[in-house]
Amino acid sequence: MGEHTHRHSGDMASSLCWNCKGTLEEADLCGTCVKIQPFKEGRDYFDILGLPHRLVIDSGILTEKFHEKSRLFHPDFHRMEIHTEQEISLTNASRLNQAFKTLKDPFLRAAYYLSLQKLGNPAIDPKKRLSPQDLMELMELKEELESEVAIGHQEKAFARLEKETKNLEGIILGNMQEIDQLESGAESLSPDQPLTEETLESLQKKKVRLSRDLEYRKYILSIRREILTPATVKETS
């Protein structure tokens, strides 16, 4: 599928066990000497947790996968092993925790998902995600909220910012579902059935919009941290 095919770096074709030098049939554990294996540098978070590359993930399945891998790599289970295996355990556990932290948050997950994409366009460039109009809107929003706070209307400003955030997050989550649906359709096609230009364009536009909305949300959260801290809001309580 070209850009829709995800390359899994966990390919075992030429991988050998660090301990017995046997050919690995599985990425995390040697079937011959039963030693844990280090995560290859190129393995992404989805692959580490054994999950499909999807924007929408069942939280229960994610947690189950995390606990399963944690039991395999937790340093407490490898304290009596040789130094090499202890180091592998520590490193893998650290990457596993980071993978879980990233993928359990839908917005961090979406940003990470896009970082893995090879779109060949400026949509993923943080410097080009927001248009001048977007930046102007955010500047005006910040000024209006600062004016509300300055005259003692902290709660009003907070409520407005919460509404803006929730509305945007709803749009982002809906777009994530739509992208997954299009990607699923692409993967169900045979190699000799390329996606139509219309579908490719729709998928591309949705990813560009997702990238933009995630960046817009970051700016809104930045405004919240800057002018609407919990202490500021509590002053009127």
Indicate whether 66 pLDDT > 60. Answer: yes
Indicate whether 13 pLDDT > 90. Answer: no
Confidence of residue 221 (pLDDT cuts 50, 70, 90): very high
Domain with CATH 1.10.287.110 in the chain: 2-104
Q: Between 154-187 and 106-116, two packed helices, what is the crossing angle to 10 degrees?
A: 50
Interacting residues of 231 by C-beta distance below 8 A, sequence separation 6+: none
Indicate whether 231 pLDDT > 60. Answer: no
Q: Tell me the pLDDT tens digit for each residue of 18-50.
A: 999 999 988 899 999 999 999 998 899 999 999
The residue with greater pLDDT, 197 or 220, is: 220
pLDDT of 27 reads 86
95 in helix, strand or coil?
helix
pLDDT of 4 reads 44
Residues across the chain: 237
pLDDT of 233 reads 47
CA 48, CA 225: separation in Å to the nearest integer?
A: 33
CA 33, CA 128: separation in Å to the nearest integer?
A: 50
pLDDT of 3 reads 44
- Written as six digits, the tokens of 203 are 């998928």
CA 204, CA 160: separation in Å to the nearest integer?
A: 32
Q: Tell me the pLDDT tens digit for each residue of 155-172.
A: 999 999 999 999 999 999
Q: Tell me the pLDDT tens digit for each residue of 90-105.
A: 999 999 999 999 999 9
Segment 60-88 shows an average pLDDT of 93
- Least Cα distance to 227 among 147, 167, 130, 164 occurs for 147
Interacting residues of 94 by C-beta distance below 8 A, sequence separation 6+: none
- Written as six digits, the tokens of 24 are 């690995």
Q: How many CB atoms lie within 10 A of CB 39?
A: 21
Torsion, Cα of 113, 117, 121, 124 (10° steps): 30
Kindly report whether the global pTM for this prediction surpasses the value 0.75: yes
Q: Between 154-187 and 132-150, two packed helices, what is the crossing angle to 10 degrees?
A: 150
pLDDT of 237 reads 39
CATH architecture, domain 2-104: Orthogonal Bundle (1.10)
29 in helix, strand or coil?
strand
- Residue/partner pairs of 91-95 with CB below 8 Å, 24 or more apart: 91/38, 91/39, 92/36, 92/38, 92/39, 95/39, 95/48
